[in-house]
Amino acid sequence: MPRLPFNRPYLAGREIDYVREATLARHLAGDGSFSRRCQAWLEREVGCPKALLTHSCTAALEMAALLLDVAPGDEVLMPSFTFVSTANAFVLRGGVPVFVDIRPDTLNIDEARIESALGPRTRAIVVVHYAGVGCAMDAILEIGRRRGIPVVEDAAQGILARWRGQPLGSFGALGAVSFHETKNLQSGEGGALLINDPTLIERAEVLREKGTDRSRFIRGQVDKYTWVDVGSSYLPSEILAAFLWAQLEQASAIVEERLGLWRMYHEALAPLEQAGRLERPRPPAEAESNGHIYYVMLPDAAARDRTLARLVSAGVHAAFHYIPLHASPAGRRFGRTAGPLPVTEAVATRLLRLPLWIGMTADDVARAVEALESASG
Ligand SMILES: *Cc1c(COP(=O)(O)O)cnc(C)c1O
């Protein structure tokens, strides 16, 4: 039987047409008409005052750290169960990640543990919406407001998902999304910074354009452009934006299809959960996900590793996920934990992600479920 890959980047159909159109228009640098279309789409769909395309979610997080003026020794609260970029973006500015444990139902930062992790040097609270399942944003924003600490959403996996009906990425002062080829909507590499705090918009444009006021110049607001602040080059080429536009046009169909596969897994795995062989995800009712990841929890680390090896040798490419950052060499060097992280440590050793990509058939899902049934026995 052919192998069932873990992921296969989806092509919506018009990518090459749009790349050709952008190429022939001879506007190849950033911020042309495709970039503007993508940004307007993000502003409309997420409901944020300003979206800026970046070349990755990592870049958008780096911009967030710059915009919040994170300085050496400033502490930034975040989960340990996340991708390295969540932490690295702030460590690059001398920030100290303070790792907070996660909730067992969402695998997101546990809002009940945030308050006690805050200190006089806390500069930001960074939340991650794992698997496109929203964090408890109302409670988290309330803590931030009360203590005057901005909230940043790492919504890399969260595009078009919602918490209590509101799109992820629209809650915090800043949000970051990813269009990496492993995400729901993709342009190979790519991302965007979502700016919900309007006072940060103008400076974000400057940071992204090498520290110049080029954006104001293009709008005719200044008659020459010059170096006005620190900055770097965070904007993607029009070629990339053209590719991305083909994906954004199909975004709701893409999410629907992924949710369909997610539900197929969820239904088919109910008997294995009843038999006590594994646990299925149990996102809270407030979280409307985008079907980014389907995972199960095996009883312990040995069962997970054994099941994963058997699945892979049966040609079904399941995967584990993050090595917790607090246990990694760089995490130990640059960060610290806010108390013990028992949920993070257990989840990291028990979690197994199943193949989920558009183009998978009901037979593929059935094959993965059967393989899991025999592998987990
Ligand atoms: C994918 C991902 C990133 C990084 O996204 P890039 O676009 O590859 O930089 C950051 N955080 C999380 C939670 C992710 O899943």
Q: Which atom of ligand 1 is nearest to the CA of 59?
A: 9
Of all protein residues, the one whose alpha carbon is nearest to atom 1 of ligand 1 is: 156
CA of 89 from ligand 1 middle (Å) equals 11
Stated pTM of the model: 0.98
Of all protein residues, the one whose alpha carbon is nearest to atom 5 of ligand 1 is: 57
> At which of 189, 221, 249 does a domain end?
249
Tell whether 1 is covered by a domain. Answer: no
Q: What is the CATH number of the domain that holds 291?
A: 3.90.1150.10
pLDDT of res. 365: 98
Of all protein residues, the one whose alpha carbon is nearest to atom 14 of ligand 1 is: 156
Residue 157 in tokens? 């996996």
Residue 99 and residue 211 in one domain: yes
Residue 127 and residue 206 in one domain: yes
Residue 244 and residue 267 in one domain: no
Q: Is the CB of 88 under 6 A from ligand 1?
A: no
Residue 61 and residue 209 in one domain: yes
Residue 235 and residue 267 in one domain: no
Q: How far is CA 186 from the centre of its chain?
A: 12
Cα–Cα–Cα angle for 190, 162, 297, nearest 5°?
Answer: 85
Cα–Cα–Cα angle for 322, 324, 326, nearest 5°?
Answer: 155
Tell whether 4 is covered by a domain. Answer: no
pLDDT means per 10 residues, the chain with 377 residues, are 94 98 96 97 98 98 98 98 98 98 98 98 98 98 98 98 98 98 98 98 97 91 92 97 98 98 98 97 97 98 97 96 96 97 98 98 97 92
- Which three-class secondary structure state does DSSP give residue 288? strand
CA of 58 from ligand 1 middle (Å) equals 6
Residue 212 in tokens? 């110049």
> At which of 204, 223, 249 does a domain end?
249
Residue 146 and residue 173 in one domain: yes
Q: How far is CA 59 from CA 62, 156, 207, in A?
A: 5, 11, 11
pLDDT of res. 276: 96
Q: How far is CA 69 from CA 46, 142, 147, in A?
A: 25, 22, 17
**Phi/psi zone of residue 359: left (φ > 0), alpha (ψ -120 to 50 degrees), beta?**
left
Contact 284, 105 (CB under 8 A): yes
Q: Is the CB of 130 under 6 A from ligand 1?
A: no
CA of 25 from ligand 1 middle (Å) equals 31
The total number of structural domains in the chain stands at 2
Residue 342 in tokens? 């028992």
Tell whether 329 is covered by a domain. Answer: yes
CA of 275 from ligand 1 middle (Å) equals 35
- Which three-class secondary structure state does DSSP give residue 104? coil
Residue 175 and residue 144 in one domain: yes
Tell whether 42 is covered by a domain. Answer: yes
Q: Is the CB of 86 under 6 A from ligand 1?
A: yes
Of all protein residues, the one whose alpha carbon is nearest to atom 2 of ligand 1 is: 156
Dihedral of CA 247/251/255/257: which sign? negative
Residue 131 and residue 273 in one domain: no
Residue 126 and residue 266 in one domain: no
Tell whether 10 is covered by a domain. Answer: no
CA of 277 from ligand 1 middle (Å) equals 31
pLDDT of res. 363: 97
Q: Is the CB of 63 under 6 A from ligand 1?
A: no
Q: Is the CB of 58 under 6 A from ligand 1?
A: yes
pLDDT of res. 2: 87
Neighbouring-strand partners of residue 128: 154
Q: Is the CB of 178 under 6 A from ligand 1?
A: yes
Q: Is the CB of 56 under 6 A from ligand 1?
A: yes
Q: Is the CB of 156 under 6 A from ligand 1?
A: yes
Rounded Cα–Cα distance for residues 216 and 34 (Å): 19
Tell whether 7 is covered by a domain. Answer: no
CB half-sphere exposure, 164, CA atoms < 13 A? 7
Residue 145 and residue 31 in one domain: yes
Residue 346 and residue 232 in one domain: no
Residue 200 and residue 318 in one domain: no
CA of 191 from ligand 1 middle (Å) equals 9
Tell whether 305 is covered by a domain. Answer: yes
Tell whether 338 is covered by a domain. Answer: yes
Q: How far is CA 90 from CA 72, 86, 96, 151, 189, in A?
A: 9, 8, 7, 13, 21
Q: Is the CB of 54 under 6 A from ligand 1?
A: no
Residue of 63, 82, 83, 293 best suited for mutating to test ligand 1, as the one with most atoms within 8 Å of CB: 83
Q: What is the CATH number of the domain that holds 98?
A: 3.40.640.10
> At which of 249, 277, 305 does a domain end?
249
Q: Find the domain containing 83 and state its range.
A: 15-249
Residue of 58, 63, 184, 193 best suited for mutating to test ligand 1, as the one with most atoms within 8 Å of CB: 58
CA of 64 from ligand 1 middle (Å) equals 14
CA of 158 from ligand 1 middle (Å) equals 10
CA of 162 from ligand 1 middle (Å) equals 18
pLDDT of res. 196: 98
